[in-house]
Amino acid sequence: MGCSSSLPDRTSGRLGGLNSENGGAPDAKNLRVKLVLLGDSGVGKSCIVLRFVRGQFDPTSKVTVGASFLSQTIALQDSTTVKFEIWDTAGQERYAALAPLYYRGAAVAVVVYDITSPDSFTKAQYWVKELQKHGSPDIVMALVGNKADLQEKREVPVQDGIDYAEKNGMFFIETSAKTADNINQLFEEIAKRLPRPSPS
Amino acid sequence: MIFSIECEILLRLISLNPLKGYVILNAAKLFFCSFIVSFSFHTVNPENDGRRLQEFLLNMEAAIRDHPLWAGATEEEVDCAMEGLEKYVMTKLFSRTFASFAEDAKIDQEILEKISLLQNFLRPEHLDIPAVFNNNASWLLAEKELQKINAFKAPREKLLCILNCCRVINNLLLNSSMSENRVPGADDFLPVLIYVMIKANPPQLHSNLKFIQLYRRQAKLVSEAAYYFTNLVSAKSFIVDLDGKSLSIDETEFHDSMQAARLVIKETRIKTPPALDKPADLPVPSRRLHNKGGSNYPFMEAEAGELTVGDVERLLSLYKDVVNNYTNLCRAIGHPPLSKLQPSFPHSEETNVLLEQPEEIMKTDHKAVE
Ligand SMILES: Nc1nc2c(ncn2[C@@H]2O[C@H](COP(=O)(O)OP(=O)(O)O)[C@@H](O)[C@H]2O)c(=O)[nH]1
Ligand SMILES: [Mg+2]
């Protein structure tokens, strides 16, 4: 179920790492963005990312072995591109103290919860507070209620998500990694909200 | 700019010869004398040294790009030159910059000792590593990659050891979860990395990470490399803070196990060196057995028929010593004992079989630094 078919393509795997990095020095038209994923284990972080990375055809995007680091470039309407470098974090409680190592320097934090799990919503709020305390001040934050396809099992009302996000100046969206609903929108909206280097 | 004079000299030297690649190295040698000497005027301060080196490399890169001789050079050529510079200068500065700070050496020692205690009892279950990921051959391979870190002096090569270790783990996770219809993410990766780190216990772990952080060219410690590097830092930090509450283990059991491990380690320290190093202590084998050339292995020439029941005990004790020594030796050279691996296939092939890595970045020129 979910995203079981979304394993990265290993045969065409290329590393987006060292060699290619210098090539396109990031400029106003081509942004490179570090995005960190936070949220309880099981809320669907990996599925969201794989859906995003796999769902879009981009021959230059490099899919790596393993799903804990993935990158994907999207083109925006104003002919700029944004390359998301997506950092997954371990959601287990015992690793919570390590999170600052991962979100340090991140331009974007995506905090995910599962709409069928109030606990995961509470945990999401914990991450938001953490980020407000220790993240970089201009970090773009998104709150994501995932598994929106499971309407009949919903336990976190949409309005709760909307209200909490609004109070904390975050972007909010409900997604389903299973049906791909709102996955691309999530990343496109984030891209629009990124601070642009002012053209000099 | 502090380095403008040096840069000028270097560029003048480069322009004397159109063979850029060759010349840059020779010029670099002359030039770095001055840079390295200038380094030694300052007291050791890792953060300052790191900043100075990064600044120097940036200036060098800018100077190379501006120079007419390099006008037609591709990104790759410039990058290659820069990698060469980083390696050259860091090899020269190694003894000053690596683990030279007393505080770092102390942290290294504390981590090494803590891990050697943990090694005595820590099991994958304690980190809730799912049984599907239990794969001793892959774990050993990952450990070996990580242990290679001390065979290199250049930050780039040390970083590559880390990336190779992570790659082995990722391959394992991907292969094992293929059948499970699961997507391996950070939840799966980090626990296995921590376990591998504990099993590998590479000396000077903290210093190695700090060295890479400070001296790897900043433009290269980004993206995927930065992600996996951060995971190493994170695993180290987890181990440093690890206590009974960090693991799926009863807290009293944790403390008892740590205590027991302390005793075991103390004992093995007293017991060494093992018996084979002092053959005089060995029981004398039965007369009938030859002992040609005063060999340490008195049963080498023996025939099965010649052995008496009394020889069994001696044989067993010799056998144990041989196995112990062999295992220790293996550990020392970072090569897993045969018993834990599939029968011998050459190391490099073995790596490739599991790595499946066409990526250039992974192709480290794994020549140990002299
Ligand atoms: N119904 C439904 N299941 C999902 C969705 N996203 C993820 N899942 C399932 O939730 C489980 C955990 O997903 P995973 O991406 O591994 O969560 P992570 O721990 O946050 O990375 C898996 O069994 C997925 O199949 C979704 O949008 N809808
Ligand atoms: Mg995951």
Nearest to B198 by CA among B160, B142, B151, B158: B142
Residue A9 in domain: no
Q: Which two tokens stand for residue B146?
A: 């990580």
Nearest to B39 by CA among B23, B62, B55, B59: B55
Name the residue of chain A whose CA is nearest to B185's CA: A68
> How far, in Å, CA of B205 to CA of B86, rounded?
21
pLDDT computed for residue B296 by the predictor: 54
> How far, in Å, CA of A74 to CA of A192, rounded?
11
Domain count, chain A: 1
pLDDT at A27 over 90: no
Higher pLDDT, A108 or B318: A108
pLDDT at B345 over 80: no
Share of chain B above pLDDT 90, in %: 40
Ligand 1 site, residue A176, Cβ cutoff 6 A: yes
- What values do phi and psi take at A143, rounded to 5? -105, 125
Give ∠ CA B188-B194-B196 in degrees, rounded to 5: 100
Q: What is the CATH number of the domain that holds A176?
A: 3.40.50.300
Mean confidence (pLDDT) of chain B: 77
Q: For residue A2, which atom of ligand 1 is closest to its CA?
A: 25
Least confident of A21-25, A115-119, B119-123, B147-151: A21-25
- Measured between CA atoms, how close is A162 to chain B, in angstroms? 28
Tell me the pLDDT band of B334, cut-offs 50, 70 and 90: low
pLDDT at B7 over 70: no
Mean pLDDT is highest, among B26-35, B79-88, B214-223, B329-338, for B214-223
Name the residue of chain A whose CA is nearest to B219's CA: A22
pLDDT computed for residue B112 by the predictor: 97
Torsion of CA B102, B107, B108, B112, to 10 degrees: 140
- Measured between CA atoms, how close is B157 to chain A, in angstroms? 12
Tell me the pLDDT band of A14, cut-offs 50, 70 and 90: very low
pLDDT computed for residue B246 by the predictor: 95
Half-sphere exposure of B348 (CA within 13 A, CB side): 5
What ligand is nearest to the CA atom of residue B188? 2
Least confident of A60-64, B161-165, B325-329: A60-64
Residue A1 in domain: no
Which residues make beta-bridge pairs with A87? A36, A69
First-residue to last-residue Cα distance in chain B = 34
* Closest by Cβ to B359, choosing from A14, A71, A98: A14
Nearest to B11 by CA among B81, B80, B74, B75: B81
Structural domain range at position A130:
16-193
Nearest to A66 by CA among A44, A40, A87, A43: A87
Which residues make beta-bridge pairs with A33? A84
pLDDT at A115 over 60: yes
pLDDT computed for residue B262 by the predictor: 94
3-state secondary structure chain B: CCCHHHHHHHHHHHHCCCCHHHHHHHHHHHHHHHHHHHHHCCCCCHHHHHHHHHHHHHHHHHHHHHCHHHCCCCHHHHHHHHHHHHHHHHHHCHHHHCCCCHHHHHHHHHHHHHHHHHCCCCCHHHHCCCHHHCCHHHHHHHHHHHHHHHHCCCHHHHHHHHHHHHHHHHHHHHHHHHCCCCCCCHHHHHHHHHHHHHHHCCCCHHHHHHHHHHHCCHHHCCHHHHHHHHHHHHHHHHHHHCCHHHCCCCHHHHHHHHHHHHHHHHHHHHHCCCHHHCHHHCCCCCCCCCCHHHCCCCCCCCCHHHCCHHHHHHHHHHHHHHHHHHHHHHHHHCCCCHHHCCCCCCHHHHHHHHHCCCCCCCCCCCCCCC
pLDDT digits (tens, 9 = 90+) for A70-91: 999 999 888 889 999 999 999 9
Residues of B in contact with A38 (CB under 8 A): none
Residue A199 in domain: no
Tell me yes or no: is domain B102-249 CATH 1.10.1740.10.
Answer: no
Least confident of A95-109, A145-159, B64-78, B206-220: B64-78
Which residues make beta-bridge pairs with A74? A82
Name the residue of chain A whose CA is nearest to B173's CA: A66
pLDDT computed for residue A164 by the predictor: 98
Residue A11 in domain: no
Give the mutation target among B173, B181, B187 for probing the ligand 1 site: most ligand atoms within 8 A of CB: B187
pLDDT computed for residue B27 by the predictor: 54
- Measured between CA atoms, how close is A11 to chain B, in angstroms? 9
pLDDT at B32 over 70: no
pLDDT at A155 over 60: yes
Higher pLDDT, B343 or B240: B240
Ligand 1 site, residue A151, Cβ cutoff 6 A: no
3-state secondary structure chain A: CCCCCCCCCCCCCCCCCHHHHCCCCCCCCEEEEEEEEECCCCCCHHHHHHHHHHHCCCCCCCCCCCCCEEEEEEECCCCCEEEEEEECCCCCHHHHHHHHHHHCCCCEEEEEEECCCHHHHHHHHHHHHHHHHHCCCCCEEEEEEECCCCHHHCCCCHHHHHHHHHHCCCEEEECCCCCCCCHHHHHHHHHHHCCCCCCC
- The domains of chain B are located at 8-97, 102-249, 262-369
Share of chain B above pLDDT 70, in %: 67
Residue A148 in domain: yes
What ligand is nearest to the CA atom of residue B189? 2
A6 with B183: Cβ contact below 8 A: yes
Q: How much is the average pLDDT of B104-120?
A: 97
Ligand 1 site, residue B185, Cβ cutoff 6 A: yes
Checking DSSP bridges between strand A108-114 and strand A30-38, what pairing results, if any? Answer: parallel
Tell me yes or no: is domain B8-97 CATH 1.10.246.120.
Answer: yes
Name, in order, each residue with C-beta under 8 angstroms of B312's C-beta and a sequence gap of 6 or more. none
pLDDT computed for residue B31 by the predictor: 58
pLDDT computed for residue B36 by the predictor: 67
Q: How much is the average pLDDT of B35-51?
A: 76
pLDDT computed for residue B64 by the predictor: 80
> How far, in Å, CA of B235 to CA of B191, rounded?
8
- Measured between CA atoms, how close is B189 to chain A, in angstroms? 7
Tell me the pLDDT band of B354, cut-offs 50, 70 and 90: very low
A50 with B220: Cβ contact below 8 A: no
Give residues whose Cβ lies within 5 Å of ion ligand 2.
A 45-46; B 185, 187
Single pTM value for the model: 0.77
Higher pLDDT, A67 or A136: A136
* Closest by Cβ to A87, choosing from B227, B358, B362: B227
Q: Are B50 and B210 in contact (CB under 8 A)?
A: no
Q: Which two tokens stand for residue B330?
A: 């293996």
Share of chain A above pLDDT 70, in %: 80
Higher pLDDT, A123 or B272: A123
Give the mutation target among A1, A36, A38, A47 for probing the ligand 1 site: most ligand atoms within 8 A of CB: A47
Q: How much is the average pLDDT of B74-95?
A: 86
Mean pLDDT is highest, among B22-26, B85-89, B285-289, for B85-89
First-residue to last-residue Cα distance in chain A = 49
pLDDT at B298 over 50: yes
Ligand 1 site, residue A144, Cβ cutoff 6 A: no
Ligand 1 site, residue A97, Cβ cutoff 6 A: no
